[in-house]
Structure 1
C-alpha cells in the first residue's frame, strides 16, 4: 500500500509540474533543442517526393541549443533572432547515406565566436540524400523555398546585403541560385569546394557565379574529383592547387573518408580554422598553380598589394573597386589545423654544368624543417620554388645544402653562385636572405646559420 500511495503522489506532482510549465507560456518544443534530420534507405521512396526543408537558428543567446526556425518564429516572445544583426545561412550539400552533417554545429559556433550574428542552418537532408542525379534535380526547388524565408525576413526589417550564404559542395550552387532569384543583391556567398559533377559544364544560370551576390568567393580543395575546377566567384582560393590536400590519404586502400571525402571536406575545416583567427590564410593571384610554385607570381599588385584572405573580412580583405573578376589565387597549407603556412621563395643559381645533378635544400626552424630537391640540368642555371614553411622568414635558423647526385653520370662538384630565400608576398622593404659562392662536393653536407631577429629585416 505504501508503494501505491507514493506512485499516486508522484503522478499528481508530475501533472502539477507540467501544468505549471504550460501556464508559464513555454511550450515543450520551445525548450527542446532542435537537430538536423537524418534518413535511411528504408524511407527513400517516400522521401523522394518531399523535400521537407526546415531551418535551425543559433545565436549567441543559444549557441549550444538550436531552435526550430520558420516564418512564424519571429512573432514568438522567445525568439532569439535579431533583425539588426547580420545573418549567416549555412547550406549543406549532398548526403550520400542520408546522415546529418557532423560539421554544421562546429561551423555555426565558429561563426558566432567571430561575430554577433544570426546563424540559420538550412536542413534539406531528405532532398539531398541517396541518388546524386536526383538530388541535383532538387536543388533549385530548395533555393526557391529558402527565398520564401528570405522574403519573409525582409518584411521584418532584414536587408538583402546583410545575408551571407555559406554553401558546402552542392549547397554552394543552392546558395548561388538563391542569389539568382534575388538578382545578385544578396550580400555575400562563400562556396566551400562547390560541387563539380554535373556543374563543370553548366551555364552560369545553373551554378554559382560572380553575379549571384555582391561578393562571391570560393575555396577549392578537391577540384579533380568532387569539387569544381573552374573559377566561380570574384575570388577563388585554390588550396595546394585545389586538388590533393596535405595529410589526406592517397591510397585507394585507405578509409573511405581518407580517400574520397578528406580533400573535399578540407575546405570546411580550413574555413572554420580561419574564423578562429589564429593566423592569416592568404592567397596570391596567379595564372596557374605551376606558375605559382615556380615563383612567377610574388605579389598582389592586382589588388593594390592587399592579398585576399580567407575569413570574414569584407570582400576577403580586397580594397580595390570594382573587384577584378574571377581571379584564381593560390596558397599552400599544412596538414592540420590551423593549416597556415608561410610561403618561402627559394632561389638557386648555379654555375653551368657538364652533367645533370641533384641538390637537396633544407630550411630549419626550431625542430621543424622543410626539404626540397632541385634536379639541375645542363641548360639551366637558375631555379626557383615556393615552399610551405611553418615559420616566417625571420625565424629560419639554418639552411643546408647537399649534393645528392651519387650516380656516376651526375655532376661531381657543384659551384652555387647564390642561394636566396624570401617570403611571399614580396614587400618592398624586405630583402632576401642570401648566401653566395658555395662549393659542394658530392655527398657532402653544407650548412649555414642565420643570425637574425624578427622585425629587423
Structure 2
C-alpha cells in the first residue's frame, strides 16, 4: 500500500511541475541599485503551449521538438528589472506565423543593475550557459542549421558569442540594434561578427546613442539612416521614451516584418544621403527584403552575395510601410535654379499623401535631367493628380519661376505599374501647382 501511495504522490508532483506555467522574471526596482547575480532561465513556447511556457535546461528539453526550427530570443540590458514591453507581442506573433520552438532567454537576473558594465560582463557568461543546451539538442537529433538566434542590444552580442562557440555553423543570427557602448572598437572575439553564423543580419536604429554604428553582419540594415526613427520623441522632455524609443524600434520593426502587408524593400548604398538623393535606387528584384522572411531570399550559393550596407525608410506608426517612386524632371528654365521641390500625390479615392522631405537642394539646369526620390506612407494604386511646389535654396533669387519640360513618375515599389508623364509645367516660387498626369507613351527604365 505504501509503495502505491509513494508512486501516486511522485506522479502528482511531476504532473504539477509539467503543467506549471513559467513567466519572465520580474524584479523590484531595489535590484537596480544592489544589482543581481546572473541566473539564466529558458522559457519554451510552442504552438501547443503558446500561453504557458515550459522551463527547460541543459538536461531537460522536453517538450521541444528538435526536428523543428528553434529560435532563441535574447533580451538586452534591463536597468529597472521589468519584463521587456515587446515580449508578449514577440511570442504571439512568432507562434502565429511559424510552427517553431521559441525559447525566450530570460537573464533578467544579471541584466538588471544600474551598473551597465556589470551587465556587459555577464554577456559571455550567458553564452556559456546556452552552449550545453544546444549541445544537448544536437545529441538528441537536432541541427545547427535549424537554430536562429535573435538578440536585442546586449542580446545581439550574446548571440554572437554563442555562434562563435559553434564555429559559425549555426544557421542564422539576427542582431536588433546591437549595443554600442563598451562594444564599439572591440575585436571580433568581443562582439557580434559575420563569422558567428551562416547568415548574420543586423538592424541599426540608434547608431548615435545606444546602438552600434559599424557593420556587424553579412547584411546591415540602417532604418531611416540608423538614427531618429519617425514617431519617436524628438526632445528629452518625453523622458524615458526619448532615451529608448529609437533603440527599441528595432524590435517592433522586426516583429512587424513577420506579418506586414508590405514588403520593405532595401537599397544598397554608401550613405543615407546618397540614398535620399536617389543615387542608389535602381530596382533589382534580387535584392532581399528586410526582416524575418529574409531567409526565403537567401541564395543557394553564398550569403555574401547580399549587399552589405542597405537603407530603407519607415512611417511613424505600424505597419511602418513606405512606398517609393522616382520623379524624373527635365527643366526648361533658361537660367539654372537651385532649390527644393515638394511632391504631393492624390489617389482616385481622394487620399492625398505628401512625400517626405528627402533630398538636399538640387540644381535645375536647362535640359539636364534631375531625379528625386519620392517616399509616401500610403500606396496609391491609381494616381489621379500630382502637386509640386518649388522652394529656392537662395534667399534672394533674381528669378522666381522654374519650368519643367517633362516629368515622369515611376514606381519603385511596384515597377510593373505604368509610368506617368506630364509636359510643360511652370512653377512659381513657393506656390503649389496641381495637375493631372497621363500614362507615358514609352515605359522607359
Change in 2 beyond 3 A, CA 1:378/1:118? closer
**Candidates 277, 291, 305, aligned match of 1:311:** 291
Deviation at 1:287, TM superposition (A): 1.3
Q: Structure 1 residues 165 and 448, CA, compared in 2 at 3 Å: closer, same or farther? A: same
- Confirm or deny that 1:368 pairs with 2:352: yes
Match for 1:337 among 310, 318, 323? 318
Q: Contact 1:210–1:326 at 8 Å: present in 2 too?
A: no
The alignment status of 1:276 with 2:256, answered yes or no, reads: no
Output the CA distance in 1 between the equivalents of 2:21 and 2:127: 25
Residue 115 of structure 1 and its aligned partner are, at CA, apart by 1.0
Provide the C-alpha distance between the structure 2 equivalents of 1:114 and 1:217, rounded to a whole number of angstroms: 20
How far did 1:247 drift? 0.7
Instruction: Report which of the two structures shows the higher radius of gyration computed on alpha carbons.
Output: 1
Q: 1:70 to 1:431 in 2, by over 3 A?
A: same
Cα distance per residue 1:122-164 (max 9 Å; x no partner) = 1111111221111111111111111111111111111111100
CA distance in 2, matches of 1:120, 1:145: 14
Cα distance in 2 for residues equivalent to 1:310 and 1:404:
34
Q: Deviations over 1:262-306 (max 9, x none)?
A: 1111111011111114221221111111111111112365xxx32
1:13-47 per-position Cα deviation (integer Å, ceiling 9, x unaligned): xxxxxx98975565433323211112335346875
The separation in 1 between residues aligned to 2:31 and 2:362, in whole angstroms, is: 61
Q: Does 1:54 align with 2:34?
A: no
Report the equivalent of 1:349. Answer: 330
Report the 3-state secondary structure (helix = DSSP H, G, I; strand = E; otherwise coil) of the residue aligned with 1:218: strand
Question: Does residue 441 of structure 1 match 2:422?
Answer: no
Of 187, 192, 198 in structure 2, the residue corresponding to residue 214 of structure 1 is: 198
Contact 1:56 1:66 in 2 (8 A): yes
1:36 aligns with 2:19: no
Checking the alignment, whether the CA contact within 8 Å between 2:26 and 2:81 is kept in structure 1 is: yes
TM-score by length of 1: 0.85
Counterpart contact for 1:344–1:393, Cα < 8 Å: no
**Matches for 1:118-129 after TM superposition, within 5 Å:** 118-129=101-112
Counterpart of 1:105 in structure 2 is 88
Q: Quote the residue 1:187 is aligned against.
A: 171
Instruction: Tell me if the contact between 1:342 and 1:391 (Cα under 8 Å) persists in the aligned partners.
Output: yes
Distance 1:410 1:199 in 2: 53
Kept in 1, the 8 Å contact 2:344–2:352? The answer is no
Q: Is the 8 A contact 1:360 1:371 kept in 2?
A: yes
CA separation in 2, counterparts of 1:136 and 1:58? 27
> Which of the numbers 151, 154, 160 marks the counterpart of 1:170?
154
The answer on whether the counterparts of 1:217 and 1:234 sit within 8 Å (CA) in structure 2 is yes
Shift of 1:425: 6.2
Match of 1:232 among 199, 216, 224: 216
| SS of residue matched to 1:253 | helix
Deviation at 1:442, TM superposition (A): 4.1
Equivalent of residue 51 in structure 2, options 33, 43, 64: 64
In 2, Cα distance between equivalents of 1:326 and 1:124: 34
Gaps of 5+ in 1: 1-18
Matched with 2:4 is none
**In the alignment, what sits opposite 1:93?**
76
Q: What RMSD over aligned residues (CA atoms) do the two structures have, in Å?
A: 2.9
Whether the aligned pair in 2 keeps the contact of 1:345 and 1:422 (CA below 8 Å) is yes
